[in-house]
């Protein structure tokens, strides 16, 4: 089901200081910023998301790993069948130039938050799927 790690969220307290550190000190390419509380960097094949606390503080005691799947609806249907605790069903999180980003959350047996994501390609008007 899982193909690779798509994104890792790193909890931060100061976006400006963290952007400066990851960009200028570590030299990671910055992808984009969503003010006032998120910035995204590329680290090899994995995207890093710097984010101020969103939601309960207990969700930020460790980094959240986002696993990429090819069909998030099917994956969450399989979670339901397996009685996996769904924290948040999949929803479109962002419209990107070439895809929609869909994200949902589950919990592991220790209640760690896990992100499941799909980067759904946009279908261009006038194109056909032969």
Q: Which of 26, 49, 27, 53 is nearest to 39 (CA)?
A: 49
Tens of pLDDT, residues 31-47: 999 888 999 999 989 99
Q: Tens digits of per-residue pLDDT, 59-118?
A: 666 778 888 999 999 999 999 998 888 999 999 998 989 999 999 999 887 787 889 999
Residue 59, domain extent: 4-121
The CATH number given to whatever domain includes residue 20 is 3.10.180.10
**The total number of residues written for the chain in this structure:** 130
Which residues are paired to 104 by β-bridges? 116
Asked if residue 128 belongs to a domain, the reply is: no
- Give the number of domains in the chain: 1
* Structural domain contains residue 126: no
Burial-class residue 3 by CB neighbours within 10 Å (0-12, 13-18, 19+). exposed
Kindly state whether residue 75 falls inside one of the protein's structural domains.
yes
pTM greater than 0.85 (yes/no): no
50 within domain boundaries: yes
Instruction: Note whether residue 116 is domain-resident.
Output: yes
């Amino acid at each position: 089901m899982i193909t690779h790690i798509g994104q890792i969220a790193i909890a931060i307290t100061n976006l400006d200081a963290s952007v400066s550190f990851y960009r200028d000190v570590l030299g990671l390419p910055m992808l984009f910023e969503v003010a006032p509380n998120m910035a995204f960097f590329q680290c090899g094949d994995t995207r890093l998301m710097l984010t101020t606390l969103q939601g309960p503080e207990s969700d930020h005691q460790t980094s959240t790993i986002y696993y990429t799947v090819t069909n998030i609806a099917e994956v969450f249907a399989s979670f339901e069948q397996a009685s996996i605790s769904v924290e948040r069903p999949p929803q479109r999180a962002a419209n990107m130039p070439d895809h929609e980003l869909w994200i949902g959350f589950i919990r592991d047996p220790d209640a760690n938050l896990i992100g499941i994501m799909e980067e759904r390609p946009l279908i261009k008007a006038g194109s056909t799927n032969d």
